[in-house]
Amino acid sequence: MTEENTPENTAPNRGMPLWIQITVWTVLVALLVVVFMGLIRAREGNVQAGAETESFDFTMPLFEGYYYKDAQEVSLTDLRGKIVVLNFWATWCVPCQQEAAELEEAWRFYEPDGEVIFIGVDYVDTEPEARDYLKEYDITYPNGPDMGTEISQAFRIQGVPETYFLDRDGVVQHVQLGPFRSTDQIKSIVNSLLAE
Amino acid sequence: MKKINILILLIIVISLFSVGTVAAQGGTDDISDDEVNAIAKQLFCPVCENTPLDVCETQACKQWRELIRLKLSEGWTEPEIKQYFVDNYGARVLSEPPAEGFSLLVYFVPPAIILVGIVVLFRAFKQWKDDDDEINALEAEASSTSTGEATNPDEDYLARFEEEMRKQD
């Protein structure tokens, strides 16, 4: 067999240059990773009980007239040592309206002791509408807008209303998806956290 | 009596001059729906996914459109209004992501993929054409060198193979 007729020398190399192949595969793998991460996040759902809020602490501005101890903004770290009831709501949310009275009643029950703090987080409302809502339902606990939807994204809320109960260490202990049935339901959850 | 009438008339005339003109103020009624929707279509509904604000009928969208109308009536410009929404509700409310940070990928990756695809297709077509040309050249060579042979291409390749084997012996 002569050298010029060996199989290795008969077929010309028609493949793409190596650098193009590496680039194409790298881009495809990177895209797959991004899509995979997006799917993972989409499947995560909202923050569950047991989650520590230290990793996504936030500072939220408060509506005028709805300050917390005269402070115009509040952060979760400021509230360590207290039971926190974090309620996400919106004016266009009918179930939110259904539970507004229960939440306010529960707040007025716990406020004198200073052990429990209710925080209302307004989701994608305009301020005038939000203020009208707070006034209509005679809500007095601290409330503020979720600027940039950062807080709702941190808690990965799936809708409104959603309420997160945090213990004195800032750990989520209970998640309520949808409206509360009664004030007693709220008290039952808060009392269990106070007893710890 | 005449003096009283003149006095009354004089008071009336003086009163007319003392009344200041009141300019009609441009309220939100002066802002047309087209002006509002020109900005609204650049924003997404905060509740429904991928629904432009100008066609969304949810309560939240109506509130946002009224907010746009209010800002326009106050003299805000389009960039100012869009920035206001970004500051309050996040960059994801924009129908066109900002060209910064991770969002830059949206502007670079699709054109890059299309470009790579064009290159791949071009090279594939070129390779197919080269293969066809080579086959045609081999067939032409086989038909010109053999005499009285069958026109079956398989037989041509077999004859060529046998010739190569004889050369190696």
Q: pLDDT tens for residues B97-119?
A: 777 777 777 777 778 778 878 88
Domain containing B126 equals: 103-157
- Residue count of chain B: 169
pLDDT digits (tens, 9 = 90+) for A146-155: 999 999 999 9
To probe the interface with A, which of B63, B129, B160 has the most A CB atoms within 10 Å?
B63
Q: Does A148 reach chain B within 8 Å, measured CB to CB?
A: yes
The candidate with the shortest Cα–Cα distance to B68, out of B52, B82, B49, B88, is B82
- Which pLDDT score, from 0 to 100, does residue B110 have? 79
Q: Spell out the CATH class of A53-194.
A: alpha beta
**Which parts of A55-123 are beta strand (E)?**
59-61, 73-75, 83-89, 116-122
Question: Does residue B168 lie within any of the structural domains?
Answer: no
Per-residue confidence at B23, pLDDT binned at 50, 70, 90?
very low
Return the DSSP state at B21.
P
Question: Does residue B42 lie within any of the structural domains?
Answer: yes
pLDDT digits (tens, 9 = 90+) for B64-73: 999 999 999 9
ipTM over 0.85: no
d(CA A23, CA B77): 43
- Backbone region of residue A156 per phi and psi (left: phi > 0; alpha: psi in -120 to 50; beta: other values): left
Tell me the pTM.
Answer: 0.69
Q: Residue B120 has which token pair?
A: 């791949």
d(CA A90, CA A145): 10
Q: Does B168 reach chain A within 8 Å, measured CB to CB?
A: yes
Domain count, chain B: 2
The CA-atom distances, in angstroms, between B7 and each of B1, B14, B15, B16, B18 are 10, 11, 12, 14, 16
User: Crossing angle for the helix pair B104-145 and A18-44, nearest 10 degrees?
Assistant: 140
Residue B147 has pLDDT above 60, yes or no: no
Question: Where are chain A's structural domains?
Answer: 7-44, 53-194
